[in-house]
Amino acid sequence: MKIVEQIKVALGTRSYSISIGCGIIEKDNIFHPLQSGDQAMLVTNRTIANLLKDKVLFHLRQSGIKVDQVILSDGEQYKTLNEMELIVSDLLEKKHSRDTTLIALGGGVIGDLTGFSASVYQRGVKFIQIPTTLLSQVDASIGGKTGVNHLLGKNMIGSFWQPSSVIIDINCLRTLPYSELVSGVAEVIKYAIIFDANFFYWLEEKMDDILSLNRDSMSYCIKKCCELKSKLISLDERENNLRALLNFGHTYGHAIEAHSGYGSWLHGEAISVGMVMASRTSELMGYLSSIDYKRILNLLKRTGLPTKGPKNMSAASYLPYMMRDKKVVSGEIRLVLPISIGKAGIYKSIDKNTILTAIKDSQ
């Protein structure tokens, strides 16, 4: 028997459920709201296609769903308008109408591309998330942020478009390269630093279990992150205030990704360094204690995540990317900074020399 835990993202008429369990993509009627006779398009990448596509297609077709497929290239460097056009072209060629449903099978790149395509195809169709990486299971698949990258900035073209459901099969994590698993843990640690001190202490104790894919620890970890994000999305769907806290480490991290070339650094690796830089900024400003800063640094190191930025990237070269960040208001950088483990705030009017010093200290 496959035990399924349900978490609801409460957004009125756009509410949806997150289903979490082991082996649940093989469960009858898990692909809600799809029903027998419905039309769907499965979107995945070449790597996942070889590992999971046939299993998902089998169970979709067994449920009576008429499903086509489109297989994209694998990697952050392919999160582009060109790849999105491939999805739209396939939908048109295979005569998918406004009542079709797109199904994203993959990590954050596939989820973002599929969601963005769903938001614009015939002015909006339904889509389902089946995240296969830890990063997408705890973060990217929930909340309706979709989009593609631009050469000048990450996720600069996109929309808010909520999924109809999210299906998290923990068994998918067995297909991950170890480096991708570690990358995903960066987002888990992010939640703990900004929202939940007890969760942070739990991670300090259980990190070895998580990295070895212990079933109970991983189930608790994913459920905890989904609960934290679901609550936040329900309060602030379009990132007008509280939801921006989820960008902790991302202003610095996105600069690393854009400068290095998308795909050179895994997203979680860049965010790990970004969290170190943001934490150091907070320490320099007198908010975060040195003890808490060291605990954050030590947990990231223990996980195997990088804590220093690219050697070929000067501190000054971060600033142009940071100025294009979506949190910039009236030409002023705003940063999410931890005040203590379990609590964070959004700050502006930060002296640029402080930012530069924090970057240099993390190089």
Q: Please indicate if the annotation marks 145 as binding a ligand.
A: yes
Rounded Cα–Cα distance for residues 150 and 79 (Å) = 9
* Domains of the chain listed by start with CATH number: 5-175 (3.40.50.1970), 178-360 (1.20.1090.10)
267 is catalytic: yes
The pLDDT, as a whole number, for residue 185 is 98
| Catalytically annotated residue among 190, 254, 259, 334 | 254
**pLDDT classification of 243: cutoffs 50, 70, 90:** very high
Q: C-alpha 200: how far from its chain's center?
A: 19
* 1, pLDDT greater than 50: no
Which pair of tokens denotes residue 355? 């930012």
Distances in Å between the Cα of 168 and the Cα atoms of 49, 106, 107, 180, 193 are 17, 11, 11, 17, 23
Rounded distance, CA 257 to CA 269, Å? Answer: 9
CA distance 151 to 134: 26
Closest CA relative to residue 268, chosen from 258, 288, 281, 254: 254
Digit-coded pLDDT (tens) for 11-31: 999 999 999 999 999 887 899
Pairing of strands 153-160, 343-347: unpaired
Q: What is the DSSP string of 101-168?
A: EEEEEESHHHHHHHHHHHHHGGG--EEEEEE-SHHIIIIITSS-EEEEEETTEEEEEEEE---SEEEE
- Count other Cβ atoms within 10 Å, centred on residue 319: 16
pLDDT digits (tens, 9 = 90+) for 41-94: 999 999 999 999 999 999 999 999 999 999 999 999 999 999 999 999 999 999
Annotated catalytic residue 229? yes
Share of residues in the chain with pLDDT > 90 (%): 91
Of residues 187, 257, 269, 283, which has the active-site annotation? 187
pLDDT, mean of residues 150-169? 94
Among 83, 180, 239, 283, the active-site one is 239
Distances (CA, A) of 328 to 36, 125, 279, 334, 347: 46, 31, 19, 6, 11
Torsion of CA 176, 306, 188, 140, to 10 degrees: -60
* Structure confidence at residue 2 (pLDDT): 62
Active site residue 239: yes
- Known binding residue 108? Answer is yes
96 is catalytic: no
Residue environment code for 283-304, b if the CB has 16+ CB neighbours within 10 A, otherwise e: bbeebbeeebbebbbebbeebb
Report the relative pairing of strands 66-72 and 101-106 from DSSP bridges: unpaired
Classified as helix, coil or strand, 196 is: coil
Active site residue 254: yes
Average pLDDT, the chain: 95
Tens digit of each residue's pLDDT (9 = 90 or more) over 322-362: 998 877 877 789 999 999 999 999 999 999 999 999 999 99
Q: Is 41 left (phi over 0), alpha (psi -120 to 50) or beta?
A: beta
Exposed, middle or buried by CB within 10 Å (0-12, 13-18, 19+), for 215?
Answer: exposed
What is the tens place of the pLDDT at every residue in 286-318? Answer: 999 999 999 999 999 999 999 999 999 999 999
Active site residue 206: no
Question: Catalytic residue at 8?
Answer: no
**CA–CA separation, 199 vs 276, rounded Å?**
19
352 is in an annotated binding site: no
**Is pLDDT at 256 greater than 90 in this prediction?**
yes
pLDDT in tens, 94-135: 999 999 999 999 999 999 999 999 999 999 999 999 999 999
Q: Is residue 252 within 8 Å of residue 320, measured between CB atoms?
A: no
Contact 237, 213 (CB under 8 A): no
Q: What is the DSSP string of 327-351?
A: T-BTTB--EEEEEETTEEEEE-S--
Q: What is the DSSP letter of 242?
A: G
Is 87 known to sit in a ligand binding site?
no
Nearest to 268, CA basis, from 256, 282, 281: 256
Check the annotation: does 111 bind a ligand. yes
Q: Which residue has the tokens 């169970």?
A: 59
Query: Quick one: pLDDT at residue 154?
Result: 86
